[in-house]
């Protein structure tokens, strides 16, 4: 990515379009999607809107309670909004961690989205905050089990090390062949 950015460093429109095309090819080649951490949030949006409407239109949900919470009103202790923000950060961070290269946008979204979720969760009924906590906690667990970024990074590093070892072995063999040929 950095080599492409250096190669297409000019700010004119044509060069920037070439850079975008090359970046897309690079992402496709390595199976990376730069907006991967945003997809779960976009998918959840219709669910959140429907849940919000259900809370306000259903008396049982509006007056119902769960643990210390009145589901139709805000969390008085701010526990769920904080947990929602923490789990949102964890899920975004894990998604970003598995990418070979991080760009400024994914990094900023990793830190910005939990703040947005925190502010929103403070101001909406606690049932929505509870939904965020449960769904993002599940997402963190699912990511660790199915698409573990630590395992992916270990495998990626092992592949790079194997390639370095192969090149080193080839270089030694070449030097040995040149030395033997001179004799």
On whether residue 23 sits in a domain, the answer given is no
Size of the chain in residues: 183
- Is the pLDDT at 66 greater than 60, yes or no? yes
List of long-range contacts for 4-7, beta carbons under 8 Å, 24+ apart: none
| pLDDT number for residue 14 | 86
| 46: in domain | yes
Whether residue 38 has pLDDT greater than 70: no
| Residue 10 falls inside a structural domain | no
Kindly tell me the burial class for residue 19, based on how many C-beta atoms sit within 10 Å of its own C-beta (0-12, 13-18, 19 or more): middle
Could you tell me if 83 and 117 lie in one domain? yes
Highest mean pLDDT: which of 37-46, 47-56, 135-144?
A: 135-144
Same domain, 40 and 88: yes
Question: What is the model's pLDDT at position 99?
Answer: 75
- In this structure, are 42 and 119 located in the same domain? yes
- Pairwise pLDDT comparison (160 vs 100), residue with the higher score: 160
Specify if 68 maps to a domain: yes
Residues 65 and 77 in one domain: yes
Q: What is the mean pLDDT of the chain?
A: 85
Does any domain span residue 160? yes
Q: Give CA–CA dist 1/101, Å, rounded.
A: 8
Q: What global pTM score does this model have?
A: 0.66
* In-domain check, residue 140: yes
Where do the H-state alpha helices sit in 1-125? Answer: 2-7, 13-30, 39-57, 59-63, 79-97, 104-123
Q: Which domain holds residue 93?
A: 36-147
Residue 170 maps to a domain: yes
> Do 159 and 123 belong together in one domain?
no
CB atoms within 10 A of CB 71: 19
Q: What is the pLDDT of residues 102-139, one digit of tens each?
A: 667 777 888 898 999 999 999 989 988 998 899 999 98
pLDDT the model gives residue 77: 92
Distances (CA, A) of 121 to 6, 16, 21, 49, 136: 41, 38, 38, 13, 13
Pairwise CA distance, residues 87 & 137, whole Å: 6
Tens digit of pLDDT for each residue in 79-100?
999 999 999 999 888 888 877 7
Establish if 98 belongs to a structural domain.
yes
pLDDT, position 90: 93
Domain count, the chain: 2
Cα–Cα distance measured from residue 19 to residue 155, given in angstroms and rounded to the nearest whole number: 29
């Amino acid at each position: 990515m950095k080599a492409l950015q250096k190669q297409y460093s000019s700010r004119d429109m044509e060069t920037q379009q070439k850079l975008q095309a090359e970046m897309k090819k690079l992402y496709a080649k390595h199976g990376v999607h730069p907006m991967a951490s945003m997809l779960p949030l976009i998918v959840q949006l219709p669910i959140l809107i429907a849940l919000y409407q259900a809370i306000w239109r259903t008396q049982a949900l509006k007056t119902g309670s769960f643990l210390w919470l009145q589901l139709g009103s805000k969390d008085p202790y701010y526990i769920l909004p904080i947990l929602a923000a923490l789990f949102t950060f964890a899920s975004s961070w894990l998604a970003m961690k598995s990418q070979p290269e991080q760009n400024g946008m994914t990094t900023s979204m990793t830190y910005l989205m939990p703040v947005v979720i925190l502010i929103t969760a403070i101001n909406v009924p606690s049932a929505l905050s509870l939904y965020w906590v449960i769904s993002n906690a599940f997402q963190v667990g699912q990511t660790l089990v199915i698409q573990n970024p630590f395992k992916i990074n270990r495998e990626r590093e092992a592949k790079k090390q194997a390639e370095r070892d192969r090149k080193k072995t080839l270089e030694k063999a070449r030097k040995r062949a040149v030395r033997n040929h001179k004799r």
